[in-house]
A and B are shown apart, each in its own frame.
Chain A
Amino acid sequence: MDASPIITLIAVVKHFGRFAALRGVSAEFASGRLYTILGDNGAGKTTLLRVLAGLAHPTSGGVSILGTTELRSVCQELGYMAHPSLLYDEMSGMENLRYFGHLYGIKDDSRCAANMTAVGLDAALTRPVAQYSQGMRQRLSLARALLNDPKLLLLDEPFSNVDGGSAREMVTLLCRMRSAGKTIFVVTHQTYLLEGVADEFVRMKAGQITNRTRELRPVETR
């Protein structure tokens, strides 16, 4: 495992109008680890992920990923799964992955099919995503985020509306990716799924990182 930081945040502040979603977040995150970000609604978890993904620009402060502050230059190495599915409802799973593959220069159908299989979906499924269950959409959304084989994976609520068995399969997949050297950030309220799996639990409150531990607190395991 490489212990050098893959992400460095220096006093990152993000305002939406008068509301401060992030209030001076400073932290370093090592590569090849699985981080779970915890916190109440409005704590700034999603905003932090969006800043890391380059979707939100910090009002002040600095973000360095893979040794550069030019986040656009490392977007090829980044996978992002948001709370919404980021999928076209009118297209099938394979059609979606084929299109998003093109955005990364991937024109290989077998890679799209392999990604669908990896998340437990059938690549031969021809029905549109609109007819998928919420759990299937989440899994396809994860497959989309994994498509470019990213070094850094940012997952916002990947287990929401996913049944227990499928969620555990997703956790196993994330463990395999971590073992392969990927750095993974998971924002979730279902912390029990990552107990004993995540390398670190990062707690956020009111736009700040308040605490980082290797273990969950007993109250958080439910």
Chain B
Amino acid sequence: MNKSSGVAYRVPSGVTGATLAKDLRLEWRSKDALNSMLFFSLLVVVVFSFSFDPNAEESRQIAGGLVWVAFLFAAVVALNQTWARELRNHVLDAYRVSPAPANSLFLAKALGNFIFVAVLEILMTPLFIMFYKLRPLGPAWQLIPVAALGTWALVVNGTFFAAISLRTRSREIMLPLLLFPVSIPALLAMVNATTAILTGQLSARFWIVLLTTYDVVFTIACLLLFELVLNAE
């Protein structure tokens, strides 16, 4: 059999944008992921604030960990939802038979999840500030790159591992089992950077650099491996 010849393989352009727009439209209509994430985060904020009732100084020490753990658990909800949509009616098969590149799908899903988690963070941050009486003593603007890099660290791996656990029977359990151990270095960097900014005692620079390196390494690794995951049987 001839291995070459055949028809020229044309890679279509604009697939990432079209897939991202489609995912945002589906989420806007169903609000499945956002509602679940908001409800979960809201519970964490309220329950913890009543359980501990910390003063302003204690809040600065624990808020970094509390905020990021809440967002990590909430993000898992969104991550499971993203791929669940592609399983209904086996829509993923329509993507797999098309000439669209696997990486475009991954990138669109990761960007979509980033937007969902970012919206959650924007909505929840005022509540965290209010319930925990937070006032950063360090450079507050640094919270923006920490939030952006930290959120990307969560969603890039989360999107990848959610795709891996897609075909497993108990994927809701499988995703945290795969994601959380891999996320520990990123989580450590996010929590320490946030705490450093809130308390103003140390520089967050090292942790921001670590987070950036983590994001670059894992984004490249996920992009390189996603085609294998997508076409696995």
A: which residues have CB within 8 A of B?
A: 8, 10, 53-57, 62, 64-70, 72-78, 80, 82, 84-91, 95, 99-100, 102-105, 107, 144, 148
Contact = CB atoms under 8 A, between A and B. Distances in A.
19 contacts: A10-B1, A53-B93, A54-B96, A68-B6, A69-B3, A76-B9, A76-B10, A80-B93, A80-B94, A80-B97, A85-B89, A86-B89, A89-B89, A99-B22, A102-B15, A103-B94, A103-B99, A105-B13, A148-B98
A56 B233 contact: yes
Interface residues of B, number: 35
Interface string B88-131: 11110111111110000000000000000000000000000000
Contact of A67 (B5, B12, B15, B25): B5
B55 interface: no
A95 B7 CA distance: 29
Contacts of B181: none
Q: Kindly list the 10 A-B residue pairs having the minimum CB-CB distance in the complex, ordered from nearest.
A: A68-B6, A105-B12, A102-B18, A103-B98, A86-B94, A103-B100, A84-B90, A73-B9, A64-B1, A67-B5
Contacts of B51: none
Contacts of A73: 6-9
A86 B2 contact: no
Contact of B89 (A55, A65, A78, A88): A88
Nearest to B5: A67
B91 A86 contact: yes
Give the interface centre of A10, A62, A86 by most chain B CB atoms within 10 Å: A86
A102 B91 contact: no
Contacts of A85: 89
Nearest to B96: A55
A66 B6 contact: yes
A87 B98 CA distance: 14
Given A54-B97, A88-B88, 5 more contacts: A53-B97, A68-B4, A76-B7, A91-B26, A104-B12
B205 interface: no
A100 B26 CA distance: 15
